[in-house]
Every structure is written in C-alpha cells, then in structure tokens.
Amino acid sequence: MEKFQDESLFESYVIIDGRKFISHGATYPFPSDEIEANRLNNRHFRIRWIWKENFAAPIKEKLAADKMTVLDIGCGTGAWIVDMAKEYPRSSFVGVDLINLFPGEEETKKNLLFLQMNVLDRLPFDDGSFDFVHQRDLMHAYTETQWQTIVIPEIARVTKSGGYCEFYEESDKWEDQGPIYENISNTFSCIMATKGVNSSIATRIEEFLKENGQFTDIKVLVERMPVGSYAGRIAELTLENTLNELAGLKPILKAPLGVTDQEFDNMIGELRKECDECKTWFKAYRY
C-alpha cells in the first residue's frame, strides 16, 4: 500500500492493489483513476441512451434559446456536463467535484467551467445563482445526515426561485437477484453503513425533498433496468459496467467477503451467468 499527496489540497490518495482511492475521510468508496474514469464515461452514455435525454426537467427550449445557468454537482469526468455544453451553446455550465477527473482542454467549451470543490464545505456561489442544478450517482458520497442537513439545503440555496433541480440514482437492491450478487450487495451495504451511508438512499430522496420544504412540484420517474445479455445489448452493457464497478471495489470487498483475489474474480465471473439465469433487474430514479 502506498500513500501520496497531490499538489491539490483535496487530493490525498492511497494505492491499494494498483487502484487509486481518495483517503482524506470521504465516504466515497470507488477508485479515482483512469480505469474508473472510463467506466464513468461509459455509464453516462448508457444512461443517456436508456432515458433518451440528459435530463427530465421541462427546460429544453429555454436551454436552447436563453442563457440559462446550470450547475452539475459531483460531475466526475464531466461526461454529462460536456454533453450539455455542446448541445446548448447559448447556456453556461459549471461542473464541480471533490476529485479532479475533469477532461482536458480539448473537451472544455467556452460555456463550460470546472471547479474542484466539495459541496459539503458549502458552495462558493451566491443564493439563487443557477437555473438548473443537477446531481447524479452520489448515493455513496454522503451520509444520510449530510443528505438531509447539507446537500439538499445547499442545492436549494443556490437554485433560483422558479428554477429546477434534478437527482438521478440507481437502486443498489436488485430485483430477481441471485445469491452471489445478494452476498456482495449486502456486504457492501454493511461496509458503507459503518460510515453512516445508507446504500438505499435512492428511495428516500423524495422524502428528503418534501421535508426540506423549499421544493415544489416534486416528480419521480422510475425506469426498469435489466442487467445481463438476456435483455439485449444495453442490458449487457449495464452488466459490464457493474462488473467493472465491482472490480474497482475488490480491494475493500474481498476481506469482508472472506475471499482471495482469485476467488473474488471467480465470483464476478459467475455473476454474469447468474444475472441471465435469474433475469435480474433494478430500478433507476429521477427526481
């Protein structure tokens, strides 16, 4: 195991089994390296294809015609916000993330800015700065308390009156799952629970938004997501992305599971067959 400090205040990493993980107390459990960046990019295109659009809020015409201001919290590699900046050049976009996996200058448009910062430390924007605030795939980045007391209130603060906020999360509990995934999923949930993270937070965001009291006209969209080649190419890509995700989690999963590297790899290999046999699927949520 090797530790090193990046020039950035934010980026203290530890290398485990050849994968780079953030190590300064963040709850986020996934690697922060090129392999993970590729997985996140592939995940973005899969999500966009399934939903047929990068967002659900009724702002398409306004994005195209006016200069809307858009914030993407936890933007990761910037795949979503780069896509948006290309499609809507008359609007302006800001992507923020604790970890710098941002694309190079060749991908950065004139209407797009990336900033390295942590929403938990309060965003450096005035109240009501953005017409649209987007956040995706951060259910393991915050504790349940942080969701309720920091994240959602902060998003409400920086959103303009009459603006829109959108959250996207996928359920960690698969339907029609087999014993292999159930074992891995339960183990991972227990690991995250020790950090105060509720891995089933995707089903509670609507409740948190209502409790906050600053959000109106709350809508919930749910999409069924098949996992495995039994349901076609996109479902197969969903499985591949999940297998790559689990490979990234191997350094923190194998000891609690009581398996060696090879035994873990064998489990992941068997999972492919299990998903097809069980016709596994899960729910994805847009709020």
Scan for tokens 């969701």, then name that residue.
147
Which 3 state secondary structure label does DSSP give 22? strand
Q: Which residues of 250-274 are buried (b: 16+ CB within 10 A; e: fewer)?
A: bbbbbeeeeeeeeebeebbeebbeb
Domains and CATH numbers, the chain: 2-286 (3.40.50.150)
Q: How far is CA 41 from CA 81, 193, 247, in A?
A: 11, 27, 16
Scan for tokens 């006016």, then name that residue.
66
How many residues are given for the chain?
A: 287
Instruction: Kindly state the helix (H) or strand (E) to which residue 125 belongs, with its residue range.
Output: none
What pLDDT digit, counting tens, does each position of 161-182 carry? 999 999 999 999 999 999 999 9
Which 3 state secondary structure label does DSSP give 215? coil
Q: What is the pTM of this model?
A: 0.91
Q: How far is CA 72 from CA 4, 46, 114, 178, 218, in A?
A: 28, 18, 10, 35, 19
What is the rounded average pLDDT for all residues in the chain? 93
What pLDDT digit, counting tens, does each position of 6-45 carry? 344 455 788 989 999 987 667 899 999 999 999 999 999 9
- CA dist., res. 160 & res. 128, Å (int): 4
Start-to-end CA distance of the chain, whole Å, equals: 40
Per-residue pLDDT, 208:
97
Per-residue pLDDT, 24:
66
